[in-house]
Structure 1
């Protein structure tokens, strides 16, 4: 997992054309596309609706609000304050929900998904900036404060082990997509595609059929009332390009994962779950191990996997 955004390796190839009988019966409405940012990644909303600009503005406001929960780059976000203080009173519901999901994926993947790698990530990032390898002493200090057992979660307080810190960039983009989906569904919308760096579809393509999502490694995944997330170990690296090491860290080894996988795509009912599982999948040495981990969650599927 990384404190900087993973390079997104999915693109949607739906053209903005006139649509028959889309969101409003009897109307020919164009496919409206809003673009912005969510936790450093490109964010896109696609829908056909007469009030699409106003809906898009509400989505943009909700993303901004959620950045105040999950962002590591906003000093006063809930996550930043938790990392700085080691405890957070009356935490936002969204943070509690995200950490609850993270704990489930941590357990199901035998610790491969571990948001407490933030101190380790910082050591590797600082070493890469300085053009050197991380020192053994720095790595040992980071590993000493890691571990999900050092995270105490209660409705009124979250507490970390002294010196610990969390990164949620392997799950929070998906969680944001889910929250946007909940917001729009509560307004009665369907036939919407949400992309916050991970995809969440409400219904299908208003032109008919599923939303067609093309994978960078080849092929496409049809998406309807479902979420899709992709992780690429070399999508972002410590160092320059392909010569650098993967930004996804193995919490047990304390090192970047070997780049055995080029790209792994996972679908699920929840974008947060798909996001976390696609991240954890990069740490498995075999496809069989990945499938076994996904099998612990109802409805999850390995949509695509390719070797480096």
Structure 2
């Protein structure tokens, strides 16, 4: 008699790495065997390394830095960089430039104190001009302002790395957290904690939890990196006490929108989130938290203290 084979119990793995994209990485994997989880880890890390060589502002020979060394010249770029530039242009247009890849220039101006009005005005004038022209895989930069896509490149990389791990045979679930950008892929829902604005602490409890499935959550504000968010329209720092979390279909979208919603007024942010499919927003730092219906649908009930 041949006995039927019993289904194997899936393996679960949690891995944490420091110094990934300048921050910490935490990944949870669920798969059929330890071997398939090993393969998924390798695929995830290989995709991270590959994309960092394209998008990094810190690696001198990254594709982005090579492009920025040639303003005014048509340059053929990789499909990955072309896709990132196309995404960035979309988010700039969608948010009325509240999301702006040249905002890092403002951070540098403010690094040693409030800049002179004339100097600030010259930078803002440059920021109002077209930054690049994208024609297929040909890019021509029209500015010598430093471009920094961290406000959504980290989210884009998180999406791609999570997908690379999930496509490894035998993998059932992936939850990837890179510096607070969280992407889930799989059949079951997972809970993601959201912190309140303020000083960070390793043992700090989340303020609340949201339930996601095949979705992403990202948070922007001054708590993690100090004052680094600026209004591209005025050149002034955004409200220091505000923190914005966005739930969206991808980390790239959540990352870009959470940055833009730190610039826009809360009413504008809530209205924009409501107009976008699958986007929820939570705004903290005012007298009362504010969120739209999509966020509220995913937020878990608060437990009384």
TM-score tier, shorter chain, comes to: 0.7 to 0.9
- Picking from 165, 172, 175, the partner of 1:184 is 165
Structure with larger RCO (C-alpha < 8 A, sep 6+): 1
The whole-number CA distance in structure 2 between the counterparts of 1:25 and 1:171 is: 40
Question: Which has the higher Rg, Structure 1 or Structure 2?
Answer: 2
- Picking from 79, 82, 94, the partner of 1:108 is 94
- Picking from 114, 118, 126, the partner of 2:104 is 118
- State the match for 1:280 in structure 2: 260
The whole-number CA distance in structure 2 between the counterparts of 1:98 and 1:64 is: 16
> How far apart are 1:160 and its partner, in Å?
1.9
- 1:147-162 superposed matches below 5 A: 147=128, 149-162=130-143
Deviation track 1:24-47 (CA, whole Å, cap 9, x = no partner) reads 942252433242444212122210
Deviation track 1:68-123 (CA, whole Å, cap 9, x = no partner) reads 11111111112222223225622121221122122222112111111122322322
- State the match for 1:210 in structure 2: 189
> How far apart are 1:133 and its partner, in Å?
2.8
- State the match for 2:155 in structure 1: 174
Q: Is 1:247 aligned with 2:228?
A: yes
The whole-number CA distance in structure 1 between the counterparts of 2:280 and 2:129 is: 26
- State the match for 1:230 in structure 2: 219
The whole-number CA distance in structure 1 between the counterparts of 2:270 and 2:132 is: 28
Check whether the contact 2:191–2:212 (CA below 8 A) recurs between aligned residues. yes
Deviation track 1:231-250 (CA, whole Å, cap 9, x = no partner) reads 1234322xxxxxxxx21111
Aligned residue-pair number: 265
Q: 1:211 to 1:40 in 2, by over 3 A?
A: same
Check whether the contact 2:16–2:26 (CA below 8 A) recurs between aligned residues. yes
Q: 1:161 to 1:28 in 2, by over 3 A?
A: closer
> How far apart are 1:230 and its partner, in Å?
0.8
- State the match for 2:85 in structure 1: 99
Q: Provide TM-score, normalisation by structure 1.
A: 0.79
Q: Is 1:297 aligned with 2:276?
A: yes
Q: Provide TM-score, normalisation by structure 2.
A: 0.79
Structure 1 residues without counterparts, runs of 5 or longer: 1-23, 238-245
Q: 1:88 to 1:200 in 2, by over 3 A?
A: farther
Deviation track 1:142-184 (CA, whole Å, cap 9, x = no partner) reads 2232236232112232222242231101101110011113323
- Picking from 22, 34, 52, the partner of 1:40 is 22
Q: 1:35 to 1:298 in 2, by over 3 A?
A: same
SS in 2 for 1:121: helix
RMSD: 2.2
SS in 2 for 1:55: helix
Structure 2 residues without counterparts, runs of 5 or longer: 1-5, 197-206, 287-305
- Picking from 82, 85, 93, the partner of 2:67 is 82
